Chain A
Amino acid sequence: MEGGGHGSDADREEDDSVSDHLKDRFRLSVISIAEAEAKKNGMEISEPIVTCISDLALHYTEQLAKEFELFAQHAGRKTVYTDDVILSAHRNEHLSTLLRSFCNDLKAKEPQSERKRKKVSKKEDKATASASASVIHIPDV
């Protein structure tokens, strides 16, 4: 259970890539996704195929981690942003547009709500300011 980050350097070097605990959790997620997808297509999926797909996905994840780090480094950052993830799909135009729209959805869901509120409040301030100005002007005329 403690395979996470508490092992010594030697422990980390022993296992080739990701600790077994994480691998198992990853595999479970893959199984649930693959089986749900097969059911949606009205198909059964044999177990060795699911295992095979999960190995593929894990390999893909490791490659992605490497790629994200390189992209972030190239941009002079230490943090991976959504742009790096979208960039990793640059070969596949359809996939990158899909990811971009998903990213926009994510952005729309959370932080922009505050910004929008601020913007709206600013606009309202201006509106009220201009309104009050006009209110002031009207009696002048």
Chain B
Amino acid sequence: MEENAFDPDLIHAIFKQLWKRRALEREKNENLDAMDCEVGPGTSNKRNRPTSAHANALKLSCELLRIFISEAVQRAATIAEAEGSARIEATHLERILPQLLLDF
């Protein structure tokens, strides 16, 4: 089970990219606000440092994503089995998708 898991570094890289973008957006918005209010920007850089993550939090996120995928496959597999098919097809995924998205 452990070979087929996400690499925490990969998830970290993805999160970092998303957080960096959000920090940039925030900074931009703040600069616009600052221009409107005529308040000098300068302290915004420190406050807009992108979010970072603890190592265990990343491992936990990897596990959460792994559970999400295995749950999707397992639920689709039960539907496929009930229909007597040996192959998971689009219709099976369609059937389980609403509940899956509600559960996660």
Chain A, residues 27-57, CB within 8 Å of chain B (1/0): the string is 0011011101110011111101100110011
Residues from 20 to 72 in B contacting A, C-beta threshold 8 Å: 20-22, 24, 49, 51-54, 56-57, 59-61, 63-70, 72
- Which residues of chain A come closer than 8 Å to B14, judged between CB atoms? 18, 22, 26, 61, 65
Contact-size category for A: 35 or more
- Do B7 and A29 touch across chains, with their CB atoms under 8 A apart? yes
Given A36-B4, A62-B18, answer yes or no on A68-B60 (Cβ-Cβ < 8 Å): no
Proximity string of chain A (99-138) to chain B, C-beta cutoff 8 Å, 1 when within and 0 when not: 1001100110010000000000000000000000000000
Q: Would you give 20 A-B contacts (Cβ < 8 Å), ordered by A?
A: A5-B16, A9-B24, A32-B4, A33-B4, A33-B70, A34-B70, A34-B73, A41-B81, A43-B80, A44-B86, A52-B93, A56-B68, A56-B72, A60-B68, A61-B14, A65-B15, A65-B18, A82-B60, A85-B64, A106-B59
Are B60 and A33 closer than 8 Å at their CB atoms? Answer: no
A70 CB, min distance to chain B CBs, angstroms: 10
CB–CB B90/A48 < 8 A: yes
> Are A12 and B24 closer than 8 Å at their CB atoms?
yes
Give B63-104 as 1s and 0s: 1 = Cβ < 8 Å from A's Cβ atoms.
111111110111011001100001111101100000000011
Binding site for B on A (CB under 8 A): 4-5, 9, 12, 17-19, 22, 25-26, 29-30, 32-34, 36-38, 41-46, 48-49, 52-53, 56-57, 60-62, 64-66, 68-69, 72-73, 78-82, 84-86, 88-89, 91-92, 95, 98-99, 102-103, 106-107, 110
Give the contacting residue for B52; candidates A46, A73, A79, A98; CB below 8 A.
A79
User: Is the Cβ of B51 less than 8 Å from the Cβ of A26?
Assistant: no
- CB-CB under 8 A from B3, the residues of chain A are 32
Query: Residue A103 contacts which of B17, B60, B76 (CB distance < 8 angstroms)?
Result: B60
Complex formed: what's the CA distance from A72 to B23 in Å? 14
Q: A12-B21, A49-B93, A65-B15 are in contact. Are A80 and B69 (CB under 8 A)?
A: no
Selected contact of B104 from candidates A38, A66, A68, A95, CB within 8 Å: A95
